[in-house]
Amino acid sequence: MGHNIASMWPPRYKRLVFFHAIQNTLNKVKGLSIMRGGLIFLASVLLLVSLPAVLPAQGRIQGEVANGTSGQPLANQAVQLLLPRGGMQRVATAITDASGRFVFSSANIDPSSFYLVQTAYQGVDYNAPAQFDPEGTATVGITVYEASSSAPQLRIQSARVVVHAQGNKAHVQEMFAVRNPSDPPRSYANPDGTFRFLLSSGAAQPNAAVAGLMNMPLPQPVNPGKGPGEYFLQCPLKPGRTVVMVAYDADYSSNHLALGDSFPYPIDSAELLVSPPSLTVDSPLFKPAGTDADTGSQRYAAAGLKTGTKLEARLSGEAVGGEAAESGQGEAQVKVLPSPVTRLDIPLLACFLLLLMWALGVRLAKELPRFKEQRRASSVQKELETTVNGLFNSLADLDELFAAGKVAEKQYWKERLDLKARLMATLRKASPSLLESYATRHNSAR
């Protein structure tokens, strides 16, 4: 959570995209005479000169940063304006005045685009989206809190454990609504761990994420604890509720699974969803609660669990097909939404590409074969990178549509859960370097 959200895509990835765009442009103009190429170059220069006539309305973003612990405005605080497209790009920086106010007023601010306002206070990042009014002005309020390394009386308001038996594996996904009730409110930040958990024996290395701004899942490093099966996360827990997600695989080759995960916090309510629904569940804790309407899984419920209570259940029965079926189903459920391009992007990109074609043609001819070879050598990894990037942009687009009231709430949550599931499944297949890169780019969007 302490990573800078403004970090850019890796240089290798940017170079790859750059030369791919140039190559597409060269293919389109291949065969034109030198005279026609010169006319196109002159036309692009004239278009660039005439751009002020088609510039979009200038936007303005203003707001205030307040300290939620003291109740006072926060002066002399650095605030960043970020554009979440192609990696989190830093558009501008401002400093709050004595009243905690800040202003971003720049010709680079397009009211039709989506922006995040971010500030870091005592090692914790705080973010808020900028929503423009019809006049092109957005007013943003950010509340930060004093950070404390002393653990508050954390509790899990609700826990959901989803088990899906497939092939010789049982896929386990756990989601917890963790409440920090500190009063006065403080963010809990401790490098020795903020959220701890103990997994059953036989669980593979887990993955974890927290729900950030607009419920974006942000991958978190999972650190081993002192004993077998003990783990902890270092993500700051802000006042109020933080959603924490843990996922892992367990062996199901014997058609049996024994769950027994535990947490050093009281749990107000817990539910267990099991699929396929034909599986048998034997638990001293969870009681049958019917069928889940959204997933068709068998649902079991428990309530009022004391600190350290094991979420104990024994599952048995025949699993469904292997990984191929899961992958195909995931593809059918996910629709990647296209990323919008502003009116200014298209002419600028065209002029830029034409100028580079004119100035760097010889060098480009030498560089392209090398990049083609690199792309072939890393085709699998590139496909995963593209999928992760596409899913992230789809989640951002879906959040924008929902914030604008263009998507019904029920449809919004259904599509968001589908996208989250596909994103987590893709990250499990990716190399550690891709996961680290993804976490660095997006981890502070919370």
Task: Domain ranges for the chain, please list them.
Answer: 11-52+333-442, 55-144, 155-321
Q: Return the pLDDT at 366.
A: 52
The count of other CB atoms within 10 Å of the CB of residue 343 is 12
Instruction: Tell me if domain 55-144 and domain 155-321 are identical in fold.
Output: yes
Q: Are 74 and 144 in contact (CB under 8 A)?
A: yes
Q: Are 309 and 262 in contact (CB under 8 A)?
A: yes
Its CATH architecture, for the domain 55-144, is: Sandwich (2.60)
CATH class, range 155-321 = mainly beta
CA 243/CA 225 separation, integer angstroms: 21
Assigned token pair, 363: 């060098």
DSSP annotation of 318 reads: -
CA 204/CA 207 separation, integer angstroms: 9
Q: Which residues contact 33 (CB under 8 A, 6 or more apart)?
A: none
DSSP helix/strand/coil, 227: coil
- The tally of CA atoms less than 13 A away on the side-chain side of residue 295 is 17
Residue type, 225: G
Q: Return the pLDDT at 348.
A: 46
CA 190/CA 122 separation, integer angstroms: 12
Q: Would you put residue 18 in left (φ > 0), alpha (ψ -120 to 50) or beta?
A: alpha
Residue owning tokens 């170059």:
41
pTM, two decimal places: 0.62
Bridge partners of 257, per DSSP, are 315
Q: Return the pLDDT at 44.
A: 47
Q: Return the pLDDT at 405.
A: 73
CA 107 to chain centre: 28
The count of other CB atoms within 10 Å of the CB of residue 250 is 20
Q: Which residues contact 209 (CB under 8 A, 6 or more apart)?
A: 217, 218, 219, 220, 244, 245, 424
User: Which regions of the chain are under pLDDT 50?
Assistant: 1-55, 323-349, 352, 355, 362, 444-445
Which of 159, 177, 228, 173 minimizes the C-alpha distance to 423? 173
